[in-house]
Amino acid sequence: MGEFIMEKDLYVLGIESSCDETAAAIIKNGTEIVSNVVASQIESHKRFGGVVPEIASRHHVENVTLVIEEALTKAGVQPSDLDAVCVTEGPGLVGALLIGINAAKAFAFAHQLPLIGTHHIAGHIYANHLVQPMEFPLLALVVSGGHTELVLMKEHGSFELIGETRDDAAGEAYDKVARVLNISYPGGPKIDQMAHESDGAVNFPRVWLEADSYDFSFSGLKSAVINYQHNAIQRGEEVNRYHVAKGFQDSVVEVLTAKTLRAAKEYQVKQVIAAGGVAANKGLRASLEKVFKEEGIPFYVPPLPLCTDNAAMIAAAGTEMFKMGVRSDWSLNGRPGMELVSWNRK
Amino acid sequence: MIWLGIDTANTPLAIALVKDGQVIAEEVANIKLNHSGGAMPAIDRLFAHTKMKPADLDAIAVSEGPGSYTGVRIGVTIAKTLAWTLNIPIVGVSSLKILAANVPYFPHVICSLVDARRQNVYAGAYSSKDSLEVIIEDGHYELEQLLNQLDALNQPILFVGHDVEVFYEKIAERLGERALRAPYPFNLPSASQLIYLAEQQPLPAAETVHAFVPTYKRIAEAEANWIKEQKAKQHD
């Protein structure tokens, strides 16, 4: 098949259920959000101090058809108007993924539409495509509760992992530190807020690993925070939680910013984007914006609702896959540990 | 009236198409296949063989559980998405009642049983009179607790289900000659039985599809622990 020729508008339904959000969206031509519906379960998981997989799966099955219906209704789109159905194939919680996948399969089967399994992180990266056309080579910093990755893209559908966390994801470190500081779930946004309001900071270590490495490590920093807290308690001292929050955030942000900047320069990228739930962190956004402005490299981060899990990003990535001829068959299954690999043009 | 039936509540996969009281096609497999990967290709094959289209369907019957949480959810998710988007009704039937329907002429008590791990079972007891009248409510039981209830019935009991063999030694030890085993061809769920049972229930309005959820018969472990903690706090 030759180059894809766009004769008519493309409407793609995206479905996402990899963690604790049940989401569906309709995207036109890969870049225009026609509808974007997210049913969050956060209130339900709060009492457990984190996402409970079985509870998440139960909520997904309650919500999934309602969410898809709302996405279609808000868009004023009929199933017959659609060109494809895209769904998060992985990574994520397997029981949660299976609900979106089986709903997507049944919907696509009912209307005999092409089905495309999409990578969750490719989705986060393509969230930017809904705001600002992607330009290549492009560097993406993906930071969320499950991921901390630097991804180099030379063209659409090409993903080269140049760095990743060797232990905890950045968001995971935020959640763990929040627990140590007795901050209720989800703790990330609160630590960000406390860091913003703090008048001082504890000096925690920066973990750089080898000089040329783009990998990350946050478990040592997390241990340093726990030890600091523990020692203070043993000495009977009051811990200033604001200073701890700011000290922790400063360390995370400095390392993420420095490595992203070094990679952007080495690979001479035309665009840097941040993606994933932690990209909503104000401290991180401000730091990245500042250095890339100084460097003269365009930097973009999607608005908050497109940083957290959503289906618009899945449909955006899925539309590019559709154009490249990528398809899944009815045996599509959840892949909790799915790796991000480049799409093969068909 | 054309029905699609889907049962993925436990290890077996059972699907069927029934048209006006006739089985058009039926498939059952008892291999440890993954329902998420296997159910939709099987449904696609069934439609291809019968030269039918999804739009031909008038109603969907689904095994609502109890059983494997994930297994039940896969069948229910496929069934409710099809029903919703094709604007047709969905009818849920107990996974245990579907098994009991395999042995309709047994004159005493029928006990359907599924392994729920750690000497627990999902089980229900039925009488074949009056289209499977419930004798012991479907539920999650410790095997001992179930055997106590069955023993008290003082009647011959026919056990049905492919997990019966896991427990049969203990069952026979307790109930002696009153314990009977269904021959193996009756131990797998049949999706045409599922549809047959669904046809005997009133057809719900298509608008109720969104509210359709599995019957787990157990709250999630995290929730059970949380409730326990709350109770402990109240006593403090």
Q: Which CATH class is domain A135-301?
A: alpha beta
Angle, CA of B195, B161 and B35, to the nearest 5°: 65
> Is B177 in the same domain as B207?
no
Distance CA B135, CA B150 (A): 9
Residue ranges per structural domain of chain A: 11-126+307-323, 135-301
Residue A4 above 70 pLDDT? no
Is B165 contained in some domain?
yes
Could you give the number of structural domains in chain B?
2
Unique residue bearing structure tokens 């068909």: A346
Lowest mean pLDDT among A90-99, A131-140, A326-335, B29-38: B29-38
DSSP for B140-178, please give it.
EEEHHHHHHHHHHH-S-EEEESTTHHHHHHHHHHHHGGG
Q: Which residues of chain B does A57 touch, with a Cβ-Cβ cutoff of 8 Å? A: 69-70, 73
Provide the token pair at A305.
Answer: 């609702």
- On whether both B41 and B114 belong to a single domain, the answer is no
Q: Residues B160, B79: one domain?
A: no
pLDDT above 70 as % of chain A: 98
What are the CA-CA distances from residue A187 to residues A46, A216, A222, A240, A281 (Å)?
A: 11, 21, 14, 17, 12
Q: Are B194 and B99 in contact (CB under 8 A)?
A: no
Beta carbons of B209 and A65 less than 8 Å apart: yes
Percent of chain A with pLDDT over 90: 88
Contact A130, A27 (CB under 8 A): yes
B27: exposed, middle or buried (C-beta count within 10 Å: 0-12, 13-18, 19+)?
middle
CB A157 within 8 A of CB A289: no
Determine the residue among A331, A332, A333, A338 to mutate to test chain B binding: the one whose Cβ has the most chain B Cβ atoms within 10 Å.
A331
Q: Is the pLDDT of residue A289 over 70?
A: yes
Nearest-by-Cβ selection for A98 from B70, B216, B221: B70
Do B201 and B87 belong to one domain?
yes
Is residue B141 domain-shared with residue B199, that is, in the same domain?
A: no
Residue A6 has pLDDT above 70, yes or no: no
Residue A5 pLDDT: 59
Q: What is the DSSP string of B59-80?
A: EEEEE--SS-HHHHHHHHHHHH
Q: Please report residues of B whose CB lies closer than 8 A to that of A68.
A: 81, 84-85
- Has residue B233 been placed in a domain? no
Burial label, B79 (beta-carbon count in 10 A; 0-12, 13-18, 19+): buried
Domain extent at residue B125: 103-186
Note whether ipTM > 0.90 here.
yes
CA distances from A238 to A15, A228, B137 (A): 47, 11, 57
**Helix (H) / strand (E) containing A96:** helix A94-110
**Of A50-54, A73-77, A126-130, B121-125, which gets the smallest average pLDDT?**
A50-54
Q: State how far the alpha carbon of B155 is from the alpha carbons of B100, B102, B107, in Å.
A: 16, 19, 10
Per-residue model confidence (pLDDT) at position A1: 45
Please state, in angstroms and rounded to a whole number, the distance separating the CA atoms of residues B190 and B192. 5
Which residues on B lie below 8 Å from A332 (Cβ)?
A: 37, 40
- For chain B, list residues with pLDDT below 50: none
How many Å apart are CA A65 and CA A303, to the nearest integer?
A: 26
Confidence class of residue A48 from pLDDT cuts 50, 70 and 90? confident
Give pLDDT, residue B16. Answer: 98
Q: Are A142 and A121 in contact (CB under 8 A)?
A: yes
Confidence at residue B94, expressed as pLDDT on a 0 to 100 scale = 98
Distances, alpha carbon A200 to alpha carbons A188, A230, A238, A246, in Å: 19, 20, 15, 7
**B169 in a structural domain:** yes
Radius of gyration from C-alpha coordinates of chain A: 20
- Distance of alpha carbon A119 from alpha carbon A87, whole angstroms: 8
Say whether both B113 and B149 belong to one domain. Answer: yes
Domain of B19, CATH number, reads 3.30.420.40
Q: Which of A194, A180, A175 is nearest to A228 (CA)?
A: A180
CB contact under 8 A, A61 and B76: yes
Determine phi and psi for A189, rounding to 5 degrees.
-60, -35
Between A and B, how many residue pairs show a Cβ–Cβ distance under 8 A?
104
The whole-number average pLDDT for the span A117-139 is: 96
Residue B234 lies in a domain: no
Please give the single-letter amino acid code of residue A231: N
Residues B7 and B61 in one domain: yes
Distance from CA of B167 to the nearest CA of A (A): 27
Q: Which amino acid is at A85?
A: V
DSSP-derived 3-state class of residue A129: helix
Cβ(A116)–Cβ(A328) below 8 Å: yes
B60: contact with A, CB 8 A cutoff: no
> Considering all CA atoms of chain B, what is the largest pairwise distance in Å, rounded to the nearest integer?
66
- The pLDDT tens digits of the residues spanning A236-264 come to 998 999 999 999 999 999 999 999 999 99
Task: Tell me the chain A residues in contact with residue B214 when contact means C-beta distances shorter than 8 Å.
Answer: 61
Boundary residue ending a domain (B169, B186, B203): B186
Tell me: do B172 and B193 sit in the same domain. no
Residues B12 and B83 both lie in one domain: yes
Q: Tell me what pLDDT residue B192 has.
A: 98
Q: Model pTM?
A: 0.94
As a whole number of angstroms, the distance between CA A167 and CA A218 comes to 7
* Minimal-distance CA residue of chain B relative to A72: B85
Cβ-contact A247, A204 below 8 angstroms: yes
In one-letter notation, the amino acid at residue A344 is N
**What does the alpha-carbon distance between residue A38 and residue A14 come to, in Å, rounded to a whole number?**
11
- Classify residue B7 as exposed, middle or buried by CB count within 10 Å of its CB (0-12, 13-18, 19+): buried
Around A302, how many Cα atoms within 13 Å sit in the side-chain half-sphere?
A: 29
Per CATH, the homologous superfamily of domain A11-126+307-323 is: ATPase, nucleotide binding domain (3.30.420.40)
**pLDDT of A196 above 90:** yes
List all residues 6 or more positions away from A227 whose beta carbon is below 8 Å from its beta carbon: none
Q: For A313, what's the count of Cα atoms within 13 Å in the CB-facing half-sphere?
A: 27
Q: Which of B77, B84, B209 lies at the smallest CB-CB distance from A102?
A: B77
Q: Return the amino acid letter for A140.
A: A
Longest dimension (CA), chain A: 72
Fold match between domain A11-126+307-323 and domain A135-301? yes
Report in angstroms the alpha-carbon separations of B198 from A191, B22, B25, B54: 53, 14, 17, 19
Q: Does some domain include residue B232?
A: no
Buried b (16+ CB within 10 A) or exposed e, A247-283: bbbbbbbebbbebbbebbeebebebbbbbbbbbbbeb
Is the CB of residue A106 less than 8 Å from the CB of residue B54? no
- CB half-sphere exposure, B33, CA atoms < 13 A: 19
